Structure formats: C-alpha cells, structure tokens
C-alpha cells in the first residue's frame, strides 16, 4: 500500500519494470536471431562481398545496444523518482530519446530494405548450389546439405535441368521422396514470417519510448517547479 508520501515512486515502479522487461525481450530476440541455426548457417557460408553477413551482425549489435539503452533509461527513471533528481531525470529522458532516434530509422529500414535482406540470403544459397552443380565440391556439398536440413527444403527450380542428381545427394530422404519445398521459396517465406514477427516488438518499443519521454518530462517539470509532488518541504501548524 502506498502512502501519499510514497505515491510517485510506487506509481513509477510498474512502468520502469515494464521497460526493463521490454529491454530484456529485445536482447533475447536479438540473441536468438543472431545465434539461430538458419541465420548463423547462411552467415558463415556467405562471402565477404555478400551484404548478408554485415546485416546479420549489425542487427544483433543494434538490438543489444537498444535493450541496454532501455534498461538504463528505466533504472535512471527509478533512481530519479526516488531521489527527485533533475539530473537523473534528464539522463533518463536522453536515453529514451536516443532509443527513439534509433528505432525510427530501423523501422523505416525494415520496410524499405526488406528485399535486400531476402535477396542476400537467397544469393548465399544460389552460390553454394551452383558451385555444387558445376564442381561437385565435397565441402560445398556438405554446406548445401546443411542448408537443406535446416530449412527442410530440397533444391531449386533450375533452367539447366540437371538438378536431380544434386538433390538426391544433398537433400534429406524424406524431402526427396515427398518432392520437398523449393529452397529459394522456403527462405523467402521464413524470412517474411520472421520480419513480420520482429515488426511487432519494434512497434511496441517505439510506442513505449514515446511514453517514457513523456513520463520523464512530466517528472522533470514536477521536480523543477516544486509541484504538489514535492515531498521535501516542512509543514507548520498554525
């Protein structure tokens, strides 16, 4: 139960806890995406000239930095509320503003460059597939088999018409027997589902950072103008 004296800290604790949970969720999503089997497999296979490896690592570091910024903002807001510190409140606002300035370009990039990520992932598969088709390299064949097993797909439609031998050597037996999914289509579908899922926490985080900036602004002005939330005054009965 909160008394009038403790009203502001008690009201802010649920909000700050929510920001911390949101930051931990983003860190978890970034880690799962970065170290997920399918993403890691294509990243390790891709060449230096392919943009996918850069995108893969950039997305991970951006997610970790964003989660740390949100957690730091929540901790600063909690400390500012308890100590009624304008400096800590301003630092909390700066962290929320920093997160917001990073989230908006990320959201725009997600909708304007989604095809770039998709094409870079499919280029990795095309490279491995064509090298196996031309050279029958044992090393590349092992990588192609790993992709087929990870994505549960089998080969691709090729204009050369000589893919049956490759598919029998590199596809899981169940995929060969059941005429498995085209790998390029499977990669496209997988990435679309993942990007749609990422858009949900991205939008939620943008909304909460705006809410955090409004909350810290209100707190700063309340402390600055010694409003009714001020609990440092002395009272004298007359």
% of residues, the chain, pLDDT over 90: 35
Q: Which residues contact 106 (CB under 8 A, 6 or more apart)?
A: 62, 202
DSSP codes, 55-98: HHHHHHHHHHHHHHHHHHHHHHHHHHHHHT-HHHHHHHHHHHHH
- Would the CA dihedral through 114, 117, 123, 124 be positive or negative? negative
CA pair distance 200, 129, nearest whole angstrom: 34
pLDDT digits (tens, 9 = 90+) for 132-191: 888 766 788 898 989 988 998 888 866 555 555 676 777 877 655 455 578 899 999 999
The pTM is what? 0.79
Please indicate whether residue 236 or residue 92 has the higher confidence score (pLDDT).
92
pLDDT digits (tens, 9 = 90+) for 185-233: 999 999 999 999 989 989 999 999 999 899 888 888 887 775 444 454 5
Q: What pLDDT was estimated at residue 14?
A: 59
> What are the sequence ranges of the domains in the chain?
1-112+181-223
Please indicate whether residue 101 or residue 232 has the higher confidence score (pLDDT).
101
Q: What pLDDT was estimated at residue 69?
A: 94
- How far from 119 is each of 52, 152, 189, 233, CA to CA, in Å? 9, 19, 12, 64
Phi first, then psi: give them for residue 172, nearest 5 degrees.
Answer: -60, 145
Label residue 3 by pLDDT band (50, 70, 90). very low
pLDDT digits (tens, 9 = 90+) for 39-83: 999 999 888 778 899 999 999 999 999 999 999 998 988 888 888
């Amino acid at each position: 139960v909160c008394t009038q004296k403790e009203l502001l800290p008690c009201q802010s604790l649920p909000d700050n806890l929510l920001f911390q949970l949101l930051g931990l969720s983003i860190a978890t999503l970034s880690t799962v995406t970065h170290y997920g089997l399918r993403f890691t497999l294509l990243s390790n296979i891709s060449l230096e000239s392919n943009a996918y490896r850069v995108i893969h690592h950039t997305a991970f570091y951006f997610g970790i930095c964003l989660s740390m910024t949100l957690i730091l903002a929540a901790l600063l807001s909690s400390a500012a509320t308890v100590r009624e510190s304008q400096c800590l409140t301003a630092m909390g606002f700066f962290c929320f503003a920093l997160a917001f300035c990073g989230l908006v370009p990320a959201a725009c990039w997600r909708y304007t460059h989604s095809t770039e990520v998709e094409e870079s992932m499919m280029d990795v598969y095309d490279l491995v597939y064509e090298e196996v088709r031309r050279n029958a390299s044992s090393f590349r064949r092992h990588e192609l088999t790993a992709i087929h097993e990870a994505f549960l797909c089998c080969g691709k439609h090729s204009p050369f018409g000589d893919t049956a031998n490759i598919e029998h050597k590199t596809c899981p037996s169940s995929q060969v027997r059941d005429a498995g999914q085209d790998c390029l289509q499977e990669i496209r579908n997988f990435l679309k589902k993942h990007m749609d899922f990422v858009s949900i926490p991205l939008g939620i985080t943008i909304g909460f950072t705006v809410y955090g900036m409004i909350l810290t602004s209100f707190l700063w002005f309340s402390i600055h103008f010694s409003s009714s939330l001020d609990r440092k005054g002395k009272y004298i009965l007359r």
